[in-house]
Amino acid sequence: MDLKSVEGGNNDGENGLDKSKTEVGVKANTEMGVKAKDVGSVSGKDMFFRADMIDFKSWDVQLEKHLSRVWSRDREAQTKKEEWEIDLAKLDIKSVIAHGTYGTVYHGTYDGQDVAVKVMDWGEDGISTAAESAALRTSFRQEVAVWQKLDHPNVTRFIGASMGTVNLKIPSNTSSDAINSLPTRACSVIVEYLPGGTLKKYLIKNWRKKLAFKVVIQLALDLSRGLSYLHSKKIVHRDVKSENMLLDSRRTLKIADFGVARVEAQNPRDMTGETGTLGYMAPEVLDGKPYNRKCDVYSFGICFWEIYCCDMPYPNLSFADVSSAVVKQNLRPEIPRCCPSSVANIMRKCWDANPEKRPEMDEVVKLLEAIDTNKGGGMIPEDQANGCFCFSAARGP
């Protein structure tokens, strides 16, 4: 068949042809180096080419150039790092600090400075689905993008993060199977290393003699200022507890572990679910109701009590009993009789069952700053001349 016979057929349907497909084919052939002179005469309406007249060698050259450009763009996208992403080759891990629900925390150095490294392997345990794993990694990127911009003396300083562990060097003596079990796609966060350890360990250490009142207020102020700063940035921590607070060499408290932290939703209904640690969780969170930053205020109230008493809340109750009693019976830790009214009032306001009645964290900061610690803060009430026997030993050094 020559081109003239083809041009004589005006009915596309009779020739089994589709005009739109023909036009697309013409465009593609033109882009791939097929010139009009290569194929002889053509029709303005329906253009076809003789296969023996097409320069396939030119097609191959053009295709190779096109694929090269695509591959170059893909490689560039893969190698392009986020501004918060670190070079794992500069990270030297020394020892294990702790094992947690979502991974392991190590002590190491990065670029000459002491750091703590939290390697999170959620979504890579063979249990989570591919979709769940992808969602967790996307959420991780979003949260890290927020945390890297935070700068406050009572918030652990963020140094960087990584979305993979290919170049992560973990000494074999840190864990017998750490290297073999660590997923290559696990995520890691690197923050400043704080040698004072967790607030929880510090309180346990001082369980018998308790803390001096000035120390109690100082720790509470550090925590309240850190939370006030986070809330000013529209960030809800959602897991405020003594175990997630760290101390530096000067006993300055810094908020850490932002594993479940998130940017506060505009609509409280978008933030639901039991997120946090039982004993510190607000009633609305335990009950699965919508919540906001006021859940952190409730948790602060429990932490304040814990700092004052150097004890654990609800030590004799099971998790199930605590959950039910906090929601249905308004259960709260028992405030010692020797506790100054200024302190007790802050605790009660913070753990009010109604989130709207709880103060904002910046208000709590002002209330704490107004407390006079020069005279012991009223540790011994006026009607107890012989002293307070709420604790078995004197408070503080």
> Please, which residues have CB within 8 angstroms of residue 294's CB and are 6 or more apart in sequence?
282, 355, 356, 358
How deeply is 165 buried, as exposed, middle or buried, from its count of CB atoms within 10 A (0-12, 13-18, 19+)? buried
The DSSP line for 271-328 is S-S--S-TTTS-HHHHTT----THHHHHHHHHHHHHHHHTS-SSTTS-HHHHHHHHHH
287 catalytically annotated? no
Q: Which residues contact 240 (CB under 8 A, 6 or more apart)?
A: 223, 227, 255, 276, 280, 296, 299, 300, 303
User: Among the options 12, 60, 121, 239, which is catalytic?
Assistant: 239
Checking 272-277 for CB contacts under 8 A at 24+ apart, the result is 275/238, 275/239, 276/238, 276/239, 276/240, 276/241, 277/239, 277/241, 277/243
Tally of CA atoms within 13 A in the half-sphere of 30 that contains its CB = 9
The Cβ of residue 4 has, within 10 Å, a number of other Cβ atoms equal to 9
Select from 268, 261, 269, 313 the least CA-distant residue to 292: 268
Residues annotated as catalytic are 239
